[in-house]
Structure 1
Amino acid sequence: MTQPTLTYVSFDDFVADVMTLAKALRASPFKPDFIIGIGRGGLVPGTFLSHATGCPMLSVDYSTKVPDFSDDLLVKLAQRSAAGEKLLFIDDINDTGRTIQALRQALLQDGADEGNIRFAMLIDNIRSVERVDFSARQIDRDITKDWFVFPWEAVAEIHAIIEDSQAVPERTL
């Protein structure tokens, strides 16, 4: 299998991306009651965005699929949304759109008010099947095949980074 092109996102670029999102949120009529970090890649951006905006943060661990930390929490978040609370979900990258699609579907099935749900990403793939409401930067996966390595991932062993990049081969081929 071909080695992916790894593009390391520097800490300074990461902070700049968070500040871009914070600025966009301040300019938006949508004022979230909570920022929801999507585990695993959205937890660090969520924490930073929470500090940058003063908005409290919650989290949901979608990546492990452990019901107590994903499905059960999504039911509670859907109830909060239905009660009028505005929720901003954040992740590191909208690549294929599968995470956003699954979260939206679960929230709506559990009665969420779609008007109270928004998504933010550090990097948004314009070819994704799902659109986001806020992004710091955009890529076109038809052109950019790089695997982005965020600061919190850079501490992993290189074989783990490469293995992660190959989970969905069409992203990096």
Structure 2
Amino acid sequence: MSTERYQAHLTISWDRLHRDVRALCHGLLARQTSFKGIIAITRGGLIPAALVARELDVRLIDTICIKSYDHMDQGGLQVLKGIDHDGDGWLLIDDLVDTGKTARAVRDMLPRAFFATIYAKPEGKPLVDYCLEDVGQDTWIQFPWDMGLSYIEPLVSRQHGEPES
């Protein structure tokens, strides 16, 4: 992680992700717009899109596959799979809009889609139609699918000379 670019760190738990997606869906429902289907921006948008599809009872789901991150640093943009329409009537879902690089490319491909994201940073936010939560540009977001649970020894065990695992 580039220490110059990211000064803050936000960890999103599975529970928080579910709550945030439900809140996003409440906002989408308030718009009283029905969608033909959902387009998930892979990979980050896959899990949020599945949760949105459940909440909005949408059965038709497609993907637009774009690679824009190399581990924690943004690399070059590569479209791996596109969509053969302009997005009219479709809901486009991603987990996060950051610098706007991916969002700009997707907007060019699907100019008529309604673009919703859970989290938005200032540089990318103008490219989405709806987001749930603003996040600082200098914040690295750690999503639950990038983390794992592991056992941690109790502090008392460490004090008695037992090795830390």
TM-score, normalised to structure 1, is 0.69
Instruction: Flag the structure with larger Rg.
Output: 2
The structure with the greater share of residues assigned to strand is: 2
Mapping 1:14-163, distance limit 5 Å: 14-56=17-59, 57-63=61-67, 65=78, 67=80, 70=81, 73-74=82-83, 76-78=84-86, 81=87, 85-108=88-111, 114=112, 117-128=113-124, 130-141=126-137, 145-155=138-148
Q: What 5-or-longer segments of structure 1 have no aligned partner?
A: 109-113, 156-173
Task: State how far apart, in whole Å, the 1-side matches of 2:16 and 2:90 are.
Answer: 25
The structure with the greater share of residues assigned to helix is: 1
Q: C-alpha displacement at 1:153, in angstroms?
A: 1.6
Counting aligned pairs with the same residue, the percent is 27
Task: State how far apart, in whole Å, the 2-side matches of 1:77 and 1:90 are.
Answer: 16
Task: State how far apart, in whole Å, the 1-side matches of 2:145 and 2:107 are.
Answer: 26
Letter in 2 for 1:33: K
Letter in 2 for 1:63: K
TM-score, normalised to structure 2, is 0.72
Letter in 2 for 1:126: P
Superposed CA deviations along residues 18-46 of structure 1, whole A, max 9, x for unmatched, are 00111111111332111111001000100
Q: Measured at CA, do residues 151 and 77 of structure 1 come closer, stay the same or move farther in structure 2, by a change above 3 Å?
A: farther
Considering Cα pairs closer than 8 Å and 6+ residues apart, tell me whether 1 or 2 has the greater RCO: 1
Task: State how far apart, in whole Å, the 2-side matches of 1:66 and 1:127 are.
Answer: 21
Q: Measured at CA, do residues 93 and 66 of structure 1 come closer, stay the same or move farther in structure 2, by a change above 3 Å?
A: closer
Q: What 5-or-longer segments of structure 2 have no aligned partner?
A: 69-77, 149-165
Which region of structure 1 is more displaced relative to structure 2, 48-57 or 36-45?
A: 48-57
CA RMSD of aligned residues (A): 2.1
Superposed CA deviations along residues 132-166 of structure 1, whole A, max 9, x for unmatched, are 1221211232xxx22101111224xxxxxxxxxxx
The aligned length equals 135
